[in-house]
């Protein structure tokens, strides 16, 4: 019943728009600030996450696989991450604020939120993750009051035509 309300109700679409705009503004301003400064460097953050990993009550690393990923992949490819993080944050924010490809933007927003969370940064990530899952669960309805009203049907028509061509 709640899923039906979340995914199809017009009142829900209005509430989702407010949540979407809130999250979008937060993502957009975070990314834009990094882009405008021109000096964003994630290496310090990554080195800190590697040096001070999340530990459980027994003192052992909780996410050793993630620390290994940061150490063996992210840090050696820091230039890629220095590009992806600010542009990703900016584009996620833009997608959410405009309601364009909302579910894709929110999916990648959640990937980034979980990445920060796994690295030990709590901050506002739990709230953003909670609100992000609401947006993701709502699907199309989260972007109904936005560009998704026109973008999603256009994409569905294109995909339908391509499927028809492939089966012919």
Q: Tell me the residue ranges of DSSP E strands in 45-118.
A: none
Cβ atoms of 43 and 78 closer than 8 Å:
yes
pLDDT of residue 22: 97
φ, ψ of residue 12 in degrees (nearest 5)? -60, -40
CA 29 to mean position of chain CA atoms: 14
The crossing angle, in degrees rounded to 10, of helices 78-98 and 102-118 is 140
Bridge partners (DSSP) of residue 61 are 55
At 126 the three-state DSSP class reads helix
Q: Record the pTM.
A: 0.90
* Per-position pLDDT tens, the chain of length 168: 888 999 999 999 999 999 999 999 999 999 999 999 988 999 999 999 999 999 999 999 999 999 999 999 999 999 999 999 999 999 999 999 999 999 999 999 999 999 999 999 888 889 999 999 999 999 999 999 999 999 999 988 888 777 777 776
**pLDDT for the residue 114:** 95
C-alpha span between 46 and 92 (Å, rounded): 21
Q: What is the pLDDT of residue 168?
A: 64
């Amino acid at each position: 019943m709640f899923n039906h309300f979340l995914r199809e109700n017009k009142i829900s679409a209005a509430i989702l728009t407010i949540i979407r705009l809130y999250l979008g503004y937060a993502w957009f301003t975070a990314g834009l600030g990094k882009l405008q400064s021109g000096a964003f460097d994630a290496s310090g953050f990554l080195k800190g996450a590697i040096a001070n990993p999340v530990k459980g009550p027994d003192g052992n690393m909780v996410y050793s696989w993630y620390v290994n990923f940061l150490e063996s992949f992210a840090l050696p490819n820091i230039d890629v991450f220095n590009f992806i993080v600010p542009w990703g944050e900016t584009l996620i924010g833009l997608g959410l604020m405009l309601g364009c490809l909302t579910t894709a933007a929110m999916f990648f927003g959640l990937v980034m939120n979980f990445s920060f969370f796994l690295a030990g940064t709590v901050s506002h990530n739990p709230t953003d993750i909670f609100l992000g899952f609401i947006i993701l669960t709502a699907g199309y309805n989260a972007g109904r009051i936005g560009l998704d009203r026109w973008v999603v049907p256009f994409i569905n028509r294109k995909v339908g035509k391509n499927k028809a061509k492939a089966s012919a």
